[in-house]
Structure 1
Amino acid sequence: MASTESSYTRWETLKDEEITVSDVQDTLALANDDLWVAAACVDRFVSDEVVQRSLIELGINRTSTAIERCKEVLLLSSRAPGSSDAVNKPKELLSAYFAETPEDAQLCHIRTALLARLDRLNSFAEIYRELLARKRDEEDNLGIDEEWEDDPWKEEGEASIIAHAASPVQPRVPLQDFLTEDILDMACFYASQECFDAVRTLLTYHRSCLWPYRFTILESIPCHSNPSDYRDFLPSYDAATDKELASPLHRWRTEEDWVESVEVQAALSQIKLPAEFEALHPSAVNAATQELQLLSAQQLTTWYQKRVDQVISSTGMLDIALSLVQHGGSLGILDLDELGEDLSLMTRLVYDIPRAWAQDDEDWTLVRWRNMEPSQVVGAYLAHSTADTVAKDISRLIMPYLFVLESRSERAGQPDPDLPDRLLHNYVLGAPLDIVAAIIEASKRTLLPPQRVIKNDEDVARLALACLYGSNSITEWMTMSRIFECLPAWEIGPSPEDEADEADATIVSLGEFVTPSTAHPQCGPTDLLFFFKPLPVTSLSRALDILDVHLESGEIFARWNVPAPLRWFLQSAGNVTEQRAWANRMARRTGAAADKLREMEDWELLLDDMLKLCGKNESGVPSAFGLLTAEEVSSIFFSGLLSSGRFDIAKDLIHSKHGKLTLEASKIEDLCLAASREFYDNASSANYKVGDMKLAYDCLDVPAPSQQLTKERDFIEATSRLSSFNIMSRPGIPILPIEIRLTKDRLSLISRVLSSNADAYKHTQVMLDLLHKLGFRDDVVAEVKTFAMVSDAALQAEDFTRAFDTNQKMIDVVFKLRSAITSSGSDDQRLREASEVCWLSCFQLGRHPDFPNVEQKLTLMGRALELCPADKLNDILIPWRRMEQEDLEVRKDRLADHSPRPKPATTKPVSSLQSRLNNLHVPTTPLLNAEDAAALAGRAFSRVASNFPFRVSGRERSESREGQTRSGSRDESHRRLDGEDVSQQASRVLQRGIGWLLGADDES
């Protein structure tokens, strides 16, 4: 008895962590009270598995007697008379027994808890064994050898790995917690930690508790976990029941203990136990409130779809989502085919094309994928393909996708067999030319059909034509040639004329089709494919022949630095103006690229190419300049050569015996004149020793000399001479050569020289030379007008001597012209125009009040009377008579002073004038009524001078000076003459003047 009490006392003083197997066997087992021992076993939780197992086994063993008594009660009840009702009601019998014997009820309750604890302990042991096995596998993979653990030569990192591997394995959940915590929480914890062996163990041996919450456990698994690791407990489909497949039931104990039966548990549940006994039983999942349900096929599919969406949205790991779908498919889940196809295609995009994921700002999700058009998917697959990889990418990425699309359309009952070709063709039409070339090369007829990307030859030709003529590229001629070399060549015999005409008409209509308009600004490859689609093979073959010519022409254009897109050759096929413009561009653009045309051989190559472009190929297809003749092309070439300034090469080509430049001399002269004038018009300086003016001048040396070339050369020299006089176009801006050429009346240029240079009038011969070079070499009227302008300039400078000399030269020219015309007996308008200019100029200078030489003035006035028209005689006679009166008064003054009588200055003019007036029928009635004769003469001069190319200036100044002189230096009679009323004196003065000229007495 004392030993038993000491056992109780010693056990109660032991702590959980101090309990050993010996303590259980030598101390607790010695106690006689089964209830106390069982309660002591269920009350203790230790971390050592062996000790805990010994406690559980001891507690179960000490409850066995109570179980036997309960069974004996039931057995006795069944044998007693009238026990038929008792057999059918074991629950009531046990309830009554437990009510009478609460100790046995408590022992049964403890037994139930210990049995459940034993199952958990077995699960813990299994989980721990699997953890040890995994640890050993990891150590084997690391290649750790225990013999070398103390190797001093191991590096620090390797030593730390060994130390970690050699450390004892710690379970994720301590044994005490494992036995006491909610088993669902533990299962979810293990799932979240990816301890799938532990989850598998729990789901296998504790199915009755965890099965209703299997999806809660699955959702605790991280989305990034590989489904292959937890495939065993993924839900599967049972085709026989059309529901979820239930997992088989496994137990640690092959037979259910009597106390775990439904009847016993029901009886125990009706017995109210102390609170401490309720706490002894670990809180298990309340399976009684959960209805065991199996999901339908649609519910299973929905769960997998949601799980996939969750994986993609949270991690973006498409391979994990695809693996989940694949496992679901292997487990019989329905309607996952399309989802699997989408995921498979997405994984190809994300993982097979790394840059598609790295360079995309938006995440790839199922929603994004399903919202994309098929053409967008194709573009995404090939967005990062290069010319070297595009053919392989189409085979491994695009073809599977197109096959999926075709299969889906068939499954949907809407078959679309053209869908794959249409999507692929649309991609080709929008791809760069290098990508197109790679695809066409992978579609050659020489390849086997399975190896070809595009298997139909006609489709290849149509795509190539659409891409080439729809491209704006002007540099990728090598790539275009690569495309052409891969195109099919059909062996088509001589076609009927109507088919050939139809093909040519198709090309003509194609040229109109690609020409931009307001309704159709630009024709792209897609539009062109629509045009080429209905063409038969004969038309396609003809189109390829034309493409060959256009590619050759395009390469020639590019070689001479004037590239054009291929569609230009279609647009200009019937436009001679466009062809001529491009030929000029070709000839002149090369002039700018002088580094490519340095020698005569280079220009000859250019001429050869230009002449080649105006011919036709073997099939009769015209080239780029097919509407131009060889002569016109040669002319354009020669113009371009001249525009480059290489006149030495131009001369060599003209005189070359074997050259291809066959132009007539007159044509060459015209081209040189045109080039010279172009240089002239573009010149910024008029000096013909430098710049464009020098080119304009030197260009005239290329052809043989001619009168026209000499005239043009003189004009250039005149322009240079004009610039030396600093003529201004506007204040501060020198006149440009183009302004000189555009001057309608070039005589005005001489006037501007005289007006802008004070001493220019002193160089009469220079002005005449300038006049001749401006194109008036044999123009007497222009020469007379030039003398008049020089005289006027001298008059304004009050250089009366030079003015008089110039007038004398002008008079000589006029009389010489009159003699020539008189001898020929013709009436020449030139004489009348020259005479009018001459008499006006003489009259202007002769009536100038500041001209001191009266004799010269009378001479000029006499010439004016001699050359003027008859109706102007009265206008000149009044001032002439006044000057004659002044001359008489001067002579009288000299006689009074006994000065030598001067020789009459008017002898010659009077005799000449008298002879002329005798032949005139001068009216006796006065012609002047109310105007001064001098004013009339001045107005007449102004009228004639208004037709001059220069401004006659100085008259107002001369008249004002004349008035001042008369008021201050003339005698009284002269002043009276000026003061008389013009209306009373005009007639008398005119009659007296004319009478004097005729020899009448002065007093009459």
Structure 2
Amino acid sequence: MTSPSTSKLSSSASELSQQWIDLADEEITEEFALKCFDAVADDVWVVAACMDRLLEAAPLQRTLLEIGIKRTEPALRRVEVASEELIDGEDSIGTSSEDRKRYALASYFQDESTDAQLCQMRATLLERLDRLNTFVEVCKEQPLAEDETSQDDIDEEWEDDPWGDTTGGSKATTKTVARVPVSLSSFLVDDLADIACVHASVGCYSAVRVLIERHASSLWQYRFVILESIPEHILPTDFRDLLPSLDASSGEERVIQPRPWREEKDWVEQPFVQEILKEFMGVEGADTIPSTEITAPVQPIPSPSNALTAWYRQRVDDVLTNSGMLDNALSLVQHAASHGIAGMDEVGEEMSLLSRLVYEAPSDLSSLSSDWTLERWKKLDPPAVIRAYLADTPPDDVPKQINKLVMPYLFVLESRAERAGNPDPRLVTRLFHEYILQAPLEVVASIFEASKPTLPPAQRLLRDDEDMVRLALACLYGSDRIDEWPTMSRIFECLPAWEVQEDEDEADTTIASLGAFVTPSTTQPQATASSLLVFFQPLLKHSLSRALDILDVHLESGEILSRWSVPAPLRWFLQSNGNILEQRAWATRMARQAGGRDDRLESLDDWEWLLDDMLKLSGSSESGLKGAFCLLSGDEVLRIYLSGLLSTGRFDIARSMLRDPKSRLQLPATTVEEVSITTSLEFYDNANSGNYHFGGMKLAYNCLDVPSISERILQQKEFIEATSRLCSFNLTSSPGTPITPIEIRLVKDKLSLVSRVLSSNSDAYKHSQVILELVQKLGFTGDLVAEVKTLAMLSDTALTMEDFDCAYENCSRMVDLVLNLRASRGTHDPEIQQASEVCWVTCFQLGRHPEFEDLYKRGNLLGRAMELCPPERLLDVLTSWRRLDQEDLELRRARRAARRAGTCLTNGAHRKRRTENGHFLTETLASRLQSLQQHVPSSPLASAPEFANKALHSVAANFPFARGRTLFSEGGDRSRSGSRPKLDAHEVQVQASRALQKGLGWLLGDE
């Protein structure tokens, strides 16, 4: 509002009014205000001046408001009289009194705008006066705070004097003021709802109540908005007077009893007057009465019961979400329930259970309570709630927490079911059993220890002995743990011991069925504890007692397996009860893995302990129940044990136990030999290097020292030595990759390895005896055919290296060996035939080699080739022999010409060799013809030429001349035959027959 104008005032009044305008708010006094306003006769100016000043001093502000209101009273009386006169003078036909009032008042304000302005300002001043009274009452309700102490009379040097007088005097002065969040000037003009919200947000709840009671007509519709301004962390007990409650008589919200400052409103505050003033003053731009700016939805007055329930539930969720303080939410719910709000009993029950989870459960969830809301809590199913209650509880404290938290919750669920008309007598038991089936074994052990049959029934968590046994069997056989055998034993020790007459057949059938039940299948990959409980549920006491006896044996067996680092889940003992393959595999793991642990068995006593445990598992208990390896015989267990012992490389312990008559490791010599060879082969196959002086090959070799010496043992040792020798020749399986022992053993033709040695080492053929010994150690001892093949390879390698003397020596040894074989075993033996084939081919190759200059040795070799070759190859050998003979003739002619020329050539030795060579070939060919006689029918031919002619016709007929060069023809033959005319097959056969007859006739001579 602008300052009042002074243009219509007198000079003295104008002077005072100007002083009023110039004075600051803090310089105004009551005396000056009375003096100034008494001097001014203009009511509009005075009222405007009173409205213009908003002071912080309540008494002075009250004085101004009262002066302004008093100066509006003449205008009010004029308006009232004039409006009454206008109403009386109007035609009242067809109009209501309210309409007539409106029309008369509007007509008057149209003529007297000054009075309209004064009426408007009067309404504003009355509103401010009411607010001022409310502010004063609010200040009385608020606690007092000390104002700043005056320091005018305090010497800075002594302000911290500890001996100073702190009780009074002139040292300092203090005053107390009320703590209000809004100043008086703001309180008078700001929106009332905003002022109430500010007071609510800072904790001035008594001030809020005063505001609502004194200004109920303006604030009651915004009561819930004001309540929502209160922080969620504030205890509901601090503002319980502001919380909504229910009127039991009406079933609706209890409305607050208003206490306005004026029982009756002023004439200008009547609704129709305010409407006219707003319309009229709106045109003039005058001030209007302040109205609230809050846009929140207005709640009905009073609110129905369901609206109150919804508000309280929303408030609870807000408290949990924004502050996480469950005690505040619970206190709010309890307040609502005590004031009759419907549906809050169930919410209180839920909040009480939730508060136990957050504040009483020994878990880390209490630090995360802000994450818990009522909606989240309601979404949890009972098993999840139980797990949340016991989530971080130490196993030893679980029984106590179950009695403190879980059981009350389960009883609440039971009572709810009864109230809902769906009673479930086994609800508590079922949910408790479900938790046990899913709990860790340590927790299960604690629960069973708190349920021992020796305890009083009232103290036991599980009071039914049969239920305890079923739960224990389901938990133990349904668990995958292989490292909690002491905990499993604790559970077993808590179970009852019954003296019942057992039906062993029925019990054994039950256990067999249980073994089939826990075996994984396509429909049920793994049996869970819950499914096992269903299986055990119908079993009677005698079957359960038998199952406990079997459980005792299985627990003992499990501890033994765990001791030797091959633990198995408890269900494995059921699955393997009738599976010998599974038992054998696990016994093998036990024997082998026990020696391969980090704390490897080193002493003889440890190994004897292992043997005792393995034999114990293969036997029966005192009650006649079978162990984990019940399907394995004692000898098989000893065999498996010996294999495991040897696989660790402790051959000294193995020999000591086998030779000790008191040791339990007593096996036949053949079994020991077989196990040793098998273990040696494992070392052999896993070796990375073939050198038997270290690594896996050394273990393979030394392992064969455990049994007594036998032929098989010697053969295996020789093979290892041969492998080492082969690897020393640097054989490779692929370029740059040395051959491994297992690759050597898997080669089917071991002689091919010798061939690889000869081909990859240029000097290996010179050491024929070494190569022959290598062949023997490869497993060919006494195999003459293999020896012949080896000599052939040596000869071929020497021939390749053009070492003809070495090749001839090997051929000679090979021929002698074959001839001896043919003499002793005949020529029809397939092995002899194979050896002969190898021998004559080797002799033929060396005998026809053009670089071999010793014609005598070549002729000897070709003669042996004709002696040993099959009939169909005789022509090839004869062709090479005639070429050799022609070469010999040319040599003799050259010598004769040289001798005639005076050259001293001594060829006695050549003549002698020529004679011997011809004589040898004659004998060899005669013997071959004699052998050919066996392949043709008898004929009356008496002379040798006729017989030869007949025989050669038969032999020549078998030669494939039409197909060109034979397998053994020389390269020179091809070059010479290239210039000859091409003949058909018949002409070639005729000419070959004639040439062969002529050659044989020359060879046979008179014979």
Q: TM-score if structure 1 supplies the norm length?
A: 0.74
Partner of 1:960: 971
State the Cα distance separating 1:411 from its structure 2 match: 2.0
Q: Distance in 2 between matches of 1:865 and 1:284?
A: 139
Partner of 1:195: 204
Q: Which amino acid aligns with 2:919?
A: T
Residues 1:653 and 1:27: Cα distance change in structure 2 (over 3 Å): same
State the Cα distance separating 1:960 from its structure 2 match: 2.2
SS in 2 for 1:501: helix
Give CA deviations for 1:951-991 in whole Å, capped at 9, x if unaligned: xxxx56xx226778999xxxxxxxxxxxx985444333433
SS in 2 for 1:232: coil
Residues 1:721 and 1:116: Cα distance change in structure 2 (over 3 Å): closer
Equivalent position to 2:764, from 760, 763, 766: 760
* Structure 1 unpaired stretches of 5+: 1-5, 64-91, 93-98, 100-108, 137-148, 156-161, 944-954, 968-979
Partner of 2:424: 416
Partner of 1:601: 605
State the Cα distance separating 1:996 from its structure 2 match: 4.5
State the Cα distance separating 1:203 from its structure 2 match: 5.5
Partner of 2:781: 777
- 8 Å CA contact 1:910–1:997 kept in 2: the answer is yes
- 8 Å CA contact 1:686–1:719 kept in 2: the answer is yes
Q: Distance in 2 between matches of 1:882 and 1:11?
A: 162
- 8 Å CA contact 2:872–2:955 kept in 1: the answer is no
> Is 1:341 aligned with 2:355?
no
Q: Distance in 2 between matches of 1:582 and 1:455?
A: 39
Partner of 2:411: 403
State the Cα distance separating 1:709 from its structure 2 match: 0.7
- 8 Å CA contact 1:489–1:541 kept in 2: the answer is no
Q: Distance in 2 between matches of 1:699 and 1:940?
A: 60
Residues 1:482 and 1:931: Cα distance change in structure 2 (over 3 Å): same
Equivalent positions of 1:729-878 (< 5 A) are: 729-821=733-825, 829-868=830-869, 876-877=877-878
SS in 2 for 1:616: coil
Equivalent position to 2:590, from 570, 580, 586: 586
SS in 1 for 2:912: coil
Partner of 1:79: none
Residues 1:941 and 1:729: Cα distance change in structure 2 (over 3 Å): farther
Q: Distance in 1 between matches of 2:859 and 2:288?
A: 159
Give CA deviations for 1:270-296 in whole Å, capped at 9, x if unaligned: 9x99x99xx9999999xxxx9995554
Partner of 1:680: 684
Partner of 1:987: 993
Q: Distance in 1 between matches of 2:658 and 2:185?
A: 114
Partner of 1:534: 538
Q: Distance in 2 between matches of 1:385 and 1:551?
A: 28
- 8 Å CA contact 1:42–1:280 kept in 2: the answer is no
* Structure 2 unpaired stretches of 5+: 1-11, 73-100, 102-107, 109-119, 147-157, 165-170, 293-297, 901-906, 937-946, 979-985
Residues 1:986 and 1:372: Cα distance change in structure 2 (over 3 Å): same
Deviates more, 1:840-849 or 1:209-218: 209-218
Deviates more, 1:657-666 or 1:169-178: 169-178
Residues 1:218 and 1:874: Cα distance change in structure 2 (over 3 Å): closer
State the Cα distance separating 1:322 from its structure 2 match: 1.9
Residues 1:309 and 1:292: Cα distance change in structure 2 (over 3 Å): closer
Give the % identical residues. Answer: 51
Partner of 2:395: 387
- 8 Å CA contact 1:930–1:983 kept in 2: the answer is no
State the Cα distance separating 1:197 from its structure 2 match: 2.4
Residues 1:856 and 1:304: Cα distance change in structure 2 (over 3 Å): closer
Partner of 1:146: none
SS in 2 for 1:410: helix
Residues 1:735 and 1:306: Cα distance change in structure 2 (over 3 Å): closer
Q: Distance in 2 between matches of 1:913 and 1:154?
A: 152
- 8 Å CA contact 1:462–1:529 kept in 2: the answer is yes
Q: Distance in 2 between matches of 1:154 and 1:454?
A: 73
Q: Distance in 1 between matches of 2:172 and 2:447?
A: 59
Q: Distance in 2 between matches of 1:227 and 1:221?
A: 10
State the Cα distance separating 1:229 from its structure 2 match: 1.4
Partner of 2:524: 520
Give CA deviations for 1:331-389 in whole Å, capped at 9, x if unaligned: 222321112122223333444467336569x9433333333433344444444444355
Deviates more, 1:803-812 or 1:640-649: 803-812
- 8 Å CA contact 1:549–1:621 kept in 2: the answer is yes
Partner of 1:976: none
Q: Distance in 2 between matches of 1:19 and 1:770?
A: 132
Partner of 1:75: none
Q: Distance in 1 between matches of 2:313 and 2:460?
A: 38
State the Cα distance separating 1:613 from its structure 2 match: 2.1
- 8 Å CA contact 2:866–2:928 kept in 1: the answer is no
Q: Distance in 2 between matches of 1:445 and 1:150?
A: 78
Residues 1:59 and 1:892: Cα distance change in structure 2 (over 3 Å): closer
Q: Distance in 2 between matches of 1:111 and 1:723?
A: 123
Give CA deviations for 1:41-79 in whole Å, capped at 9, x if unaligned: 99999866778999999999999xxxxxxxxxxxxxxxx
Q: Which amino acid aligns with 2:482?
A: I
Partner of 2:245: 236
- 8 Å CA contact 1:406–1:420 kept in 2: the answer is yes
Q: Distance in 2 between matches of 1:398 and 1:387?
A: 15
Q: Distance in 2 between matches of 1:841 and 1:704?
A: 43
Partner of 1:977: none
Higher relative contact order (CA 8 A, sep 6+): 1
SS in 2 for 1:494: coil
Partner of 1:632: 636
SS in 2 for 1:729: strand
Q: Distance in 1 between matches of 2:956 and 2:797?
A: 27
Residues 1:249 and 1:882: Cα distance change in structure 2 (over 3 Å): closer
Give CA deviations for 1:481-520 in whole Å, capped at 9, x if unaligned: 44434x412314122x2xx433333332333333333333
Compute the RMSD of aligned alpha carbons.
Answer: 5.6
Partner of 2:500: 493
- 8 Å CA contact 1:929–1:983 kept in 2: the answer is no
Residues 1:489 and 1:165: Cα distance change in structure 2 (over 3 Å): farther
Deviates more, 1:621-630 or 1:387-396: 387-396
Partner of 1:907: 919
Give CA deviations for 1:690-740 in whole Å, capped at 9, x if unaligned: 221111111111111111111111111122222223333333333322222
Give CA deviations for 1:606-625 in whole Å, capped at 9, x if unaligned: 22222222223334333322
Partner of 1:369: 377
Q: Distance in 2 between matches of 1:829 and 1:588?
A: 47
Q: Which amino acid aligns with 2:330?
A: L
Residues 1:461 and 1:911: Cα distance change in structure 2 (over 3 Å): same
Q: Distance in 1 between matches of 2:307 and 2:520?
A: 60
Q: Which amino acid aligns with 1:493?
A: V
Q: TM-score if structure 2 supplies the norm length?
A: 0.74
Residues 1:941 and 1:218: Cα distance change in structure 2 (over 3 Å): same
- 8 Å CA contact 2:566–2:590 kept in 1: the answer is yes
Residues 1:47 and 1:907: Cα distance change in structure 2 (over 3 Å): closer
Give CA deviations for 1:421-460 in whole Å, capped at 9, x if unaligned: 4444444444444444444444444555555554444444
> Is 1:470 aligned with 2:488?
no
Q: Distance in 2 between matches of 1:365 and 1:202?
A: 33
- 8 Å CA contact 1:846–1:857 kept in 2: the answer is yes
Q: Distance in 1 between matches of 2:547 and 2:336?
A: 55
SS in 1 for 2:863: helix
SS in 2 for 1:596: coil
State the Cα distance separating 1:166 from its structure 2 match: 6.9
Give CA deviations for 1:535-575 in whole Å, capped at 9, x if unaligned: 33433333333333333333333332223333333322221
Q: Which amino acid aligns with 2:860?
A: T
Q: Which amino acid aligns with 2:207?
A: A
